[in-house]
Amino acid sequence: MAKSRAGKSKAGNIIAFQGEPGANSDMACRAAFPDMVTLPCPTFETAMAAVQAGKAALAMIPVENSIAGRVADLHSLLPHTRLKIVAEHFQRVEHCLVALPGASLKTIKTAKSHVQALSQCRNFLKKHRIEPLVHADTAGAAREIAEIGDASVAAIASSLAARIYELKVLARNIEDADHNTTRMLVFSREEARPDWRSTPCMTAFLFRVKSVPAALYKALGGFATNGVNIVKLESYLSGPQFEQAQFYAEVEGHPEQRSVKLALEELAFFSEELKMLGTFPTNPFRRKGWDAPTRPGT
């Protein structure tokens, strides 16, 4: 089994991710922070806990994909974490069908991978009559087929995973759309302090309102009247009778900007709880796509 690259590194140079070595999140960490050492973790929770415990400086967690939509697991952790969002990263995901060195497309009957990866490659699997099998992790699926030694089973994983586990790449870029991109958030114990006067920023927060008519309208009214753009808004029902609506939101701007400050003050007045999750630089990918550098802070 491949070992963690973080074994002998200092925590300040370590970035944690969910998955095994070679996972797409591993590739994203290496792309965004090439000078840091990656730390594989079994879950989003353990990746964030590694940062909180001082075993890693950062954690990178996927939140949404341009094909498969929201990655839901993170949202249950946000109300409880003390970490701050300090950056965002957009990772172009290029899925490969990988198998044992002696295998071919004709020998493959099933393909294992994470449910998100399988859903992003539906057309390819259908075309080649390959049965999808859900696995906990893309790189973990690659490791498993290398250990089992069955030429009829493949994995959908990264080219990095193929190199790590000495597998053959049978097909590259098998995702259904060439815009297949995953957005990642970077978490740290210390909050980022971007200068909003020179750096475009995003601010993320959680808030809760009663599930009554016009509660959300009143809470968000300040963003409209102050001209603040709400980029992301997601809702979750909580409480013993699902009577409370909790929201995760991201807006353009910095809390020190007058317009954002006034909007947040109005939100706090009409909401029952407001938790700031962090302010971070807007990634250039939002404005220019893949022609722009995608490393956080560039």
pLDDT surpasses 70 at 36:
yes
The DSSP secondary-structure symbol of 289 reads: G
Average pLDDT of the residues of the chain: 90
pLDDT of residue 3: 43
Task: Dump pLDDT digits (tens) for 147-171.
Answer: 999 999 999 999 999 999 999 999 9
pLDDT value of residue 201 = 96
Q: Where are the domains of the chain?
A: 11-93+180-191+286-291, 96-171, 201-281
Flag whether pLDDT at 216 surpasses 80.
Answer: yes
Flag the least confident range among 42-51, 73-82, 90-99: 73-82
pLDDT tens digits for range 218-239: 999 999 999 999 999 998 876 6
Q: Return the CATH superfamily for domain 96-171.
A: Periplasmic binding protein-like II (3.40.190.10)
The residue type found at 261 is K
Identify whether the C-beta of residue 15 lies closer than 8 Å to the C-beta of residue 25.
Answer: no
**66 to each of 73, 206, 244, 247, 266, how far by Cα in Å?**
17, 23, 29, 21, 32
The percentage of the chain sitting over the pLDDT mark of 90, rounded to a whole number, equals 74
Confidence of residue 243 (pLDDT cuts 50, 70, 90): low
Torsions phi, psi of 137, nearest 5? -160, 145
* Closest alpha carbon to 33 in 66, 57, 7, 64: 57
Nearest alpha carbon to residue 260 among 222, 218, 232: 222
CATH architecture type of domain 201-281: 2-Layer Sandwich (3.30)
Whether 297 has a pLDDT exceeding 60, the answer reads: no
Q: Percent of the chain beyond pLDDT 70?
A: 92
Q: What is the pLDDT at residue 66? A: 86
- Which pTM does this prediction carry? 0.86
Q: Which homologous superfamily is 11-93+180-191+286-291 in?
A: Periplasmic binding protein-like II (3.40.190.10)
pLDDT for res 2: 43
- Cα→Cα distances 190→60, 103, 118, 263, Å: 14, 48, 36, 25
Sign of CA dihedral 146, 147, 150, 155: negative
Domains 11-93+180-191+286-291 and 96-171 agree in fold: yes
What is the signed CA dihedral for 79, 83, 87, 92, rounded to 10 degrees?
-70
What is the C-alpha separation between 255 and 269, in angstroms, rounded? Answer: 16
Could you tell me which residues come within 8 angstroms of residue 260 by beta carbon, excluding any fewer than 6 positions away? 203, 226, 228, 251, 253, 254
